[in-house]
Amino acid sequence: MSESISDDVLPESPVALLKLMNAAAAKLNDVSFTSAAAGDLLVAAETNEQMRARVEAATTGLMIELSDRFAFQAQGYMTVQKYLTNGLRLGVREANARIALMFATGEFRSVVGDRLSARNPAAARALRDGVINRGHVAEISAVIDKIPARVDPDTVAAAEAQLAEVARTLSPEGVRTAGRRLLGHLDPDGELTDDADRRRTRGFTLGPQDARLMSTLRASITPALRAKLDVVLGAWAAPGMNNPEDPESPHGAVDRGDLDEAVLIAARDRDTRTTAQRNHDALAAMVDFVLGHGALGRPDRLPAELVVTVTDQELAADAGVALTATGAHIPVKELVELAAHAVPRLAVFKNATSEVLYLGRGRRFASKAQRLEMFVRDRGCTAPGCNVPFSRTEAHHVVRWENGGRTDLVNLGAACGRHNRAEGVGPGKWETAIVADRGVNVGRVGWRPSGSARGWQVNPIHHIGQCPGLLPHGPPRGASSAVETLLSRLLSAA
């Protein structure tokens, strides 16, 4: 495998080089490694990894140019992240990984046009050399981000260079281990870490629901919040308290004045939950308390209430999942329990309320009744590929208000703030229309880049599982007593 290509026969244009690489990759799919010797296979594996790393480094410049020139706006995208996610169909995780690599190793331009050095220059050089990969860069960046702000810049630069050097011989996991030791060396007693560092690294993330509709939490909390949680969980997660599996379990805090000590002792004796389960149930009880006591702000806004939509087919079968305005999915069987603690609304308002649904030109902003109807129809942002739940959307006028558009459901659609502001004329803008001839999509909002002749795009994300014939799991059992109880509670709340 001694074949090589000299630089003088390669094109200078980066676009032409990418086309040549694409042609070479296509050819590589048509040949076989079967005839290669074992030693050549090892060389080929190393060459492949070097090539992949160098491509990552080289195309970082492509992403920077896309970003600096706003080239993605020609296809109707407002940010390079959205273009990567939906335009190139990379998905959020891959798009974010490439953007993180761009910020870690890319050479951006200053406001006067000068080329700036990379944030992690040693890692950037190693990536261009093809001796480390994206995983190494991510670990190096994570370590650098954890260095206390009081450490001087020269020391930080030396630490980054040392990590990039060891990354040439270690796996990303090895870099992570080396990084822990480096952080311990830089601040062995934790004396350099201050409140600014803690505030900078604080966070609380609610992960997506998995196939079981369970969600994970990831958090890094400040000492102050930790102290408060210790007190609250000590009262709400005490043994015997707020146990959903025990109908006689007391609710609220363990030290409230009206709590019968004998009832608590009996509930404590029956409590077989782990500490983690008690903490979970305490959090659920506290959320029930907030929902039931009007603590979510203005009652005329949808985010202030628990709003649920579910099909009559799923209710009849007492199976399937319901959707909330915040984008969460809830098994139908749990709706009864949910209705007992909150002030929810079910998506049957059209027949259960006399509120006006058509306002014409009487007002610009959609009423709460119209917002509820839009939730039933749109379930989230209607822009293509947008997964923002309905609770974070605005009422978008398909025909703009200033152009005579009416505040009626036939001219309204749900759009997140970013997409609502993206509607207009010019590069990076979108135009919208109500779809009139697309089967199950009739009546929904269609989007396309401003001035283009492309077909109207309808966002399918929020409607997966609503196709005709897609039945909820479980045997049909008619309108069970549980469902009747649910309906009575929900409709009486409306």
**Domain total for the chain?**
3
Question: What confidence score (pLDDT) does residue 403 get?
Answer: 80
Same domain, 48 and 177: yes
Of 295, 324, 342, the one marking the end of a domain is 295
Same domain, 331 and 471: yes
Among all chains, which residue has been given the structure tokens 């969980």?
Answer: 233
Same domain, 262 and 386: no
Token pair listed for 477: 């059992």
Query: Does residue 203 fall inside a structural domain?
Result: no
Same domain, 464 and 481: yes
Same domain, 50 and 175: yes
Query: Alpha carbon of 210 to those of 203, 207, 216, 217, 328: distances in Å?
Result: 21, 9, 9, 12, 11
Query: Alpha carbon of 327 to those of 50, 179, 230, 290, 315: distances in Å?
Result: 42, 38, 30, 19, 19
Question: What confidence score (pLDDT) does residue 480 get?
Answer: 42
Query: Does residue 384 fall inside a structural domain?
Result: yes
Same domain, 303 and 288: no
Same domain, 487 and 415: yes
Q: Is the pTM of this model over 0.85?
A: no
Query: Does residue 221 fall inside a structural domain?
Result: yes
Q: How many helices (H) and strands (E) does the chain have?
A: 18, 10
Map residue 339 onto helix, strand or coil: helix
Question: What confidence score (pLDDT) does residue 460 get?
Answer: 80
Query: Does residue 22 fall inside a structural domain?
Result: no
Same domain, 63 and 120: yes
Query: Does residue 480 fall inside a structural domain?
Result: yes
- For residue range 318-343, what is the model confidence (pLDDT) as tens digits? 555 666 666 667 766 566 555 545 44
Same domain, 288 and 320: no
Number of other CB atoms surrounding residue 37 within 10 Å = 9
The whole-angstrom separation of Cα 88 and Cα 390 is 25
Query: Does residue 235 fall inside a structural domain?
Result: yes
Same domain, 140 and 46: yes
Question: What confidence score (pLDDT) does residue 406 get?
Answer: 82
- For residue range 119-167, what is the model confidence (pLDDT) as tens digits? 999 999 999 999 999 999 999 999 998 888 888 889 999 999 999 999 9
Same domain, 232 and 181: no
Q: Which domain holds residue 468?
A: 298-494
Q: What DSSP string runs through 434-486?
A: E--SSGGGTTSEEEEETT--PPPB---GGGTT-STT-PPSS----S-HHHHHH
Low-confidence ranges of the chain (pLDDT < 50): 1-2, 298-304, 340, 342-359, 361, 467-494
